[in-house]
A and B are shown apart, each in its own frame.
Chain A
C-alpha cells in the first residue's frame, strides 16, 4: 500500500511509459483528425469552387466568340448585283490611314523623322494627297484620318515608312465597282453604315440582317443596258446643252426596270457637295408636264371607250377658244385631221376634240387606272407625288390633260402607262427587284387587247411617218411618241425652256421593252439642227440606244419583219409632219 501510495506522486511527477504512450496516441489522433479536417475542407472548398465555376460559366459568362470560317466570310453588308450577277455594290475589308500622335508614348515628337520627309514619302504613295497639307497635319499633333481608303499594297508601303504614328486600322468599305453608273438606283452608305437614297436605303434591313446578308440581292437592272442608257443620255444631254436628262428601260410584261438613269449623276464611292446636289432622282421623284407623249394614252382611252371607232374620221384642226383660253397647235396643220394624222403631226386641237367626245370622267378614270393619281410604284424611297387635279375635271382641264398639260407625273409613271398600252392592256407596278419567270405581278387590265394592238400600229406609224422618224433604227421596229412641253414658270409657261421627251417601245410587232428618254431644258444647238423639240433631241437618243441594247435583251434586228401597217397607211399621206 505504501509502495502504491508512494508510487502515485511518482507517477504524477514523472509519467510512466504507458501513460506517455496514451498521451502520444491521443495527440497523434488529434493531429490526424485535424489533417483529415483540413484535407476535407480543402476538398470541400475545391468542390465549391468547381461548382461555382460551373455555375458561373453556365449562368453569368457570355459564350465564347466562335469565329468560324462562315462568320469570317460573311460580309458586314450584303452585296447588290445586277440581274446577271455583276456586282454593283459590295463590302470588302479595306484599310484607312490614321494619324495617331500618341503612338510613340515617350513624350517626344510623334514622328521619328521630320514631318516633311514623311509627308514626301506619303505623297509618293498617294499622289493625290497634298504635301503641304500632309505636313500641316503631321505637325498639328491632332489625331485623325489622313485617308479613308487604302489598298492592301499601299498599306504595305505605308508600313515600310516605319512610323508608328501612321496607323492603318482595317475598316469595312462599301465599294461600287461601276462608279457613278446606276448611282440613283443604288444610293450610297453613310458614315454610320446606313443606306441612303437608293436601294441601299430601301434594302437596308435586308442587307445588314446576319441571316440573309450572305446572299447577294439581285436587282432587275442589267449593267450593260444601264451603261448604254447613261452613255447615250449623257451624249444627248451634252450635245444639246440640257440641264438634266432622265431615262428608263422597262420590261413591259413584268414591270422590271432594266435601266434607270438620272443625269447629272453622282459617284457613290465619293460623296461630296456636288454629288449631294445631284442626288435628286429625275425619273421617280421629279414631276413634269410630259406634253404630247400623253396623246397616245388619250387615243387609247377613246378607242377603248368606243368613242373612236373609225380611224379615218376627220376632226376640225382649227384653233378654238374655250374658257378664256385658245387651244392651238405649234403651227397650222390644215383644216382637218384624222386620228393617225393627229398622232403623226401631234395636234393639240384634234386631241382636245377627241377628249370632248370621250368625256372628262372617262379620261380621268383611265389616267387613274394607269396610276397617274398616286406616287409611282417602285422600291426607291424618293417617289414624287403627281400634280393631279382632284374632283370632277372641267372640260378645259380634261382637254389639256389629253395632250399632257395640267397634269405632272414622273417619267416612271409614263413608262408604266406606255407598258400597259403596248403589252396588251395590263398595267403592272414597276419594280427594281429581279422577277423570276412566271412570278410577275398579275397587274390590272386598263385597255382591251384589241386597243393595245391598234395602239402598237399607231405608235409605229409615228416613227415611220411622223415626228419620231429620228428614232428609227433599221430592223428594230421602234414605235413611240415625241413630247415637248414648255416648263411652267412664274406667270405662265416659259416659251424658251422645254422638257422634251420621247416615249418608245420596241419591237412593235411584239412589244417587249419601253424606253423613255427625257431632256430637261435642251437648247437649240448644231447637233439638233438648232431645234429644241423632242423630235430633234430626245428621239435620236432612243434611235441610237435601241440598237445597242436590243441584241443584249434578245431583240434582234430583222428588216424582213414589222408590224402590219397596210390598213392604216392609206389614212396618212407619204409626207410626214413636224410638231411637238
Chain B
C-alpha cells in the first residue's frame, strides 16, 4: 500500500466519520425539534381544553335563566319603551324648542376643513391683470417710478395722493 493510497483511505474514513457524526447530530436535532413540536401541541390541546372548560363555565354561570333571576332580584331592568328610541334626525329635531324672546344668540362656530378653495390672486385695479409677486414686496415700492413702467404697474395709493397734492 503506497502512502498515497493510505492517506486517501484515511481521508475517506475521516469524511465518512464526519458525515456520520454530522448525520447523528442532525438526527438528534430533528428529533429534539419534533418532540418540542409535540410538546407544544400537547400544551395547545390542554390549553384549548382549559379554555373550553372556562368558557363553558362562564356560559353556564351567565345563562339566560340566571340572568333573568338576577335581574328580577337585583337590577329590575325592563324592556325599553318606544320613547327611548329615535328613528331618524327629524325625531331628534322634534326635541328642540324655539328660542324664547330675550334668549342669547346661539354661538355659531365655523371651521375650515382644509379643502378651502385657493385664495384669489390680487389683481391690479387699473389693468385687471394679476400683480407680480415682486411688486408686493414693500422695499421695492418706494424705488418704483410713479408711472412710465411697462405692463402692470402698481400705483401706491400714498404716492397718488402725494402727487395730487403737488
Closest A-chain residue to B52, C-beta based?
A: A92
Kindly state the separation between the CA atoms of A66 and B121 in the bound complex, as whole angstroms. Answer: 80
Closest B-chain residue to A93, C-beta based?
A: B49
Kindly state the separation between the CA atoms of A559 and B83 in the bound complex, as whole angstroms. Answer: 8
What are the residues of chain B within 8 A of A576 when measuring CB–CB? none
Closest B-chain residue to A91, C-beta based?
A: B52
Kindly state the separation between the CA atoms of A475 and B79 in the bound complex, as whole angstroms. Answer: 13
Interface residues of A in 50-86 (CB under 8 A from B): 68-69, 72-73, 86
Contact of A560 among B49, B65, B87 (CB under 8 A): B87
What are the residues of chain A within 8 A of B163 when measuring CB–CB? none
Stretch at the interface among B10-18, B26-34, B55-63, B125-133: B55-63
What are the residues of chain A within 8 A of B53 when measuring CB–CB? 92, 151-152
Closest B-chain residue to A180, C-beta based?
A: B65
Q: Does B45 contact A (CB under 8 A)?
A: yes
CB pair B81–A227 under 8 Å, yes or no, is no
CB pair B65–A92 under 8 Å, yes or no, is no
Interface residues of A in 460-488 (CB under 8 A from B): 474-476
Q: Does B67 contact A (CB under 8 A)?
A: yes
Kindly state the separation between the CA atoms of A547 and B84 in the bound complex, as whole angstroms. Answer: 12
Kindly state the separation between the CA atoms of A561 and B45 in the bound complex, as whole angstroms. Answer: 54
Closest A-chain residue to B53, C-beta based?
A: A92
**How close is B74's CB to chain A, nearest CB, in angstroms?**
15
Contact of B82 among A175, A181, A474 (CB under 8 A): A474
Q: Does A210 contact B (CB under 8 A)?
A: no
CB pair A69–B85 under 8 Å, yes or no, is no
**How close is B61's CB to chain A, nearest CB, in angstroms?**
9
Kindly state the separation between the CA atoms of A557 and B59 in the bound complex, as whole angstroms. Answer: 30
CB pair A92–B49 under 8 Å, yes or no, is yes
Q: Does A162 contact B (CB under 8 A)?
A: no
Q: Does A556 contact B (CB under 8 A)?
A: yes
What are the residues of chain A within 8 A of B81 when measuring CB–CB? 474-475, 547, 557
What are the residues of chain A within 8 A of B52 when measuring CB–CB? 90, 92
Q: Does B36 contact A (CB under 8 A)?
A: no
CB pair A558–B85 under 8 Å, yes or no, is yes
Kindly state the separation between the CA atoms of A223 and B67 in the bound complex, as whole angstroms. Answer: 12
**How close is B72's CB to chain A, nearest CB, in angstroms?**
9
Q: Does B166 contact A (CB under 8 A)?
A: no
Interface residues of A in 135-158 (CB under 8 A from B): 151-152
CB pair B65–A178 under 8 Å, yes or no, is yes
Given A90-B52, A92-B53, verify A558-B87 contact (CB < 8 Å). yes
Contact of A73 among B45, B63, B79 (CB under 8 A): B45
Q: Does B44 contact A (CB under 8 A)?
A: yes
Contact of B64 among A87, A152, A224, A551 (CB under 8 A): A224
CB pair B87–A179 under 8 Å, yes or no, is no
Q: Does B136 contact A (CB under 8 A)?
A: no
Contact of A72 among B45, B80, B91 (CB under 8 A): B45
Given contacts A179-B60, A556-B85, A557-B85, 14 further A-B contacts (CB under 8 A): A69-B44, A73-B48, A90-B52, A92-B49, A152-B53, A177-B60, A179-B63, A179-B66, A181-B64, A230-B64, A231-B68, A475-B82, A547-B80, A557-B80
Q: List, sorted by A's number, 14 A–B pairs whose CB atoms are closer than 8 Å.
A: A69-B45, A177-B60, A181-B64, A227-B67, A228-B64, A474-B81, A475-B81, A475-B82, A551-B80, A556-B87, A557-B82, A558-B87, A559-B82, A560-B91
**How close is A47's CB to chain B, nearest CB, in angstroms?**
24
Closest B-chain residue to A225, C-beta based?
A: B64
Q: Does A298 contact B (CB under 8 A)?
A: no
What are the residues of chain B within 8 A of A151 when measuring CB–CB? 53
Given A177-B60, A178-B59, A179-B60, verify A227-B68 contact (CB < 8 Å). yes
Closest B-chain residue to A551, C-beta based?
A: B80
CB pair B49–A177 under 8 Å, yes or no, is no
Kindly state the separation between the CA atoms of A93 and B67 in the bound complex, as whole angstroms. Answer: 26
CB pair A181–B65 under 8 Å, yes or no, is yes
Kindly state the separation between the CA atoms of A90 and B55 in the bound complex, as whole angstroms. Answer: 11
What are the residues of chain A within 8 A of B64 when measuring CB–CB? 178, 181, 223-224, 226-228, 230-231
Kindly state the separation between the CA atoms of A181 and B87 in the bound complex, as whole angstroms. Answer: 33
Kindly state the separation between the CA atoms of A73 and B68 in the bound complex, as whole angstroms. Answer: 34
What are the residues of chain A within 8 A of B56 when measuring CB–CB? 87, 90, 92, 175, 177
What are the residues of chain B within 8 A of A213 when measuring CB–CB? none
Q: Does A375 contact B (CB under 8 A)?
A: no
Q: Does A314 contact B (CB under 8 A)?
A: no
CB pair A548–B79 under 8 Å, yes or no, is yes
What are the residues of chain B within 8 A of A561 when measuring CB–CB? 87
Kindly state the separation between the CA atoms of A8 and B67 in the bound complex, as whole angstroms. Answer: 123
Closest B-chain residue to A558, C-beta based?
A: B87
Please indicate which of the listed interface residues B41, B49, B52, B91 has the most CB atoms of chain A within 10 Å of its own CB: B52
What are the residues of chain B within 8 A of A175 when measuring CB–CB? 56, 60
**How close is A48's CB to chain B, nearest CB, in angstroms?**
28
CB pair B59–A86 under 8 Å, yes or no, is yes
Closest A-chain residue to B45, C-beta based?
A: A72
What are the residues of chain B within 8 A of A544 when measuring CB–CB? 79
What are the residues of chain B within 8 A of A556 when measuring CB–CB? 85, 87
Kindly state the separation between the CA atoms of A93 and B65 in the bound complex, as whole angstroms. Answer: 25
**How close is B156's CB to chain A, nearest CB, in angstroms?**
67
What are the residues of chain A within 8 A of B41 when measuring CB–CB? 68-69, 72
Interface residues of A in 114-165 (CB under 8 A from B): 151-152
Interface residues of A in 431-482 (CB under 8 A from B): 474-476
What are the residues of chain A within 8 A of B45 when measuring CB–CB? 69, 72-73
**How close is B26's CB to chain A, nearest CB, in angstroms?**
24
CB pair B79–A547 under 8 Å, yes or no, is yes
What are the residues of chain B within 8 A of A560 when measuring CB–CB? 87, 91
